[in-house]
Structure 1
């Protein structure tokens, strides 16, 4: 297991983030450390498992809704989908924030296969059983300036953080000390795995999903081992899932307008804002975007992967 110590002086950020801990090479809320350790030590993956991985605010809620709908389309018609009465985060639980929370050791005996899980952990922090099995990983990322803005909105939706300046959020990302960050390390870990073993890890870009949801849903289904038949495609099954799982539809479901999560202390409406690509131009200055882009480009240099700014 990776070293859990505080980084050396030359690795330390300019200041610590309150209630954050540098753990196994990434930053996370201190209370999650025991959960992560328990998950790593006890989770036993099955070959049919599907793990949805993401950095916070990169399209996680959407990815969960899509993956759940793909896997359960023969069990539940969309007219009777559990997504109509439950938020995606309650239907697809996180390892580190829900399943292994507060010392829990979940029993998965009654969970039907394929089992669907989610995580914000970096690739190297996943349980070894996931890496060593045939379990499949679907990873989504997003243009980093949009991630910064989305995280700021998400954080300030809580009363205690309502007056947090966006400049402080931006600087936090520049130092790489944000939740499950640094951002560039998170992306690189899954990108390298997707190129080394594309049958194991599917690497998705939020902007491409927005531009071609039907094509990306079809791609996801094939990778997950649940491809759409020709008949399903002709009958518009993919289009129906794309429409049902669209931000506008999910956002307007009653459960996501006024409900609260069963698995986390959050109002469901805090997970739905604009979902637009390039909205960062309304909140970050061109010089700030250029500065952060240079940081990320430098960190990703030589990997074969780059972000294309939307605007």
Structure 2
């Protein structure tokens, strides 16, 4: 069959005049849309073979190929949402017809929805990525219009005091309470806590680990377990055969949920996200004197750039140098020097 279903999604299959077998997802649950894409691709293959013309590709074709190549991304579902929004502006447009004027119009349309600059930039970034691949890798187009990103505010760092953290924990149901305590003890991201399995924990060596395919930076992370995190893990013994943290016998897929939001409200804590627990963990480390290079390793960051967000929270390591300009050390009376000016 030229089009067929796999689950809820339609797929395309045909042979080109050159004998090449084309088989790919149409990325749609609508049969008519799949048929339209099938006919378009088949006609283009004929023109390329018999007329020697360089095929012109539509935005929809580019999206299909990009999604196929990027299907491994953790954020692929979010990307699909942004691409669905872009589709209303670019669906049948030939990608060599996409100009800066069109890009600016898309940017304005998104701004009119009242969303943040960061949200707009994420949408523009996908548009730019697809156009760059169309030029550099697929050789579908000769040039890419300039896409100017909007300014974004400095990276936000929101953290809790120990008193605030205790207040929040007291309002949480037991399963979230355990995960929050564990996050504050280890600094792990939400997905690494909810997805933590017993095979990733060694209580004898007092350590855990995040596999490379689970880590944001695609590098395995060693997680030393302090006394707090060890106690939390011990409390989870016997609750599930595979996963460390569970709820009513089932793995927890999402910690940032309604129960979390309600607990924040009861605790009187505003403008706080689950990821801010990681900011809190890092901030507490810095305030307790943990060196930046050590925090970098503990947090699994690839370089010091991200860690420097927390550097301003501690200055103890600078005290010994601050005295270098003291008049007792330099023999200079700063009051007299000021009077001579």
Decide: shared fold, TM above 0.5.
Answer: no
Relative contact order: is structure 1 or structure 2 higher (C-alpha 8 Å, sep ≥ 6)? Answer: 1
Q: TM-score, normalised by structure 1?
A: 0.28
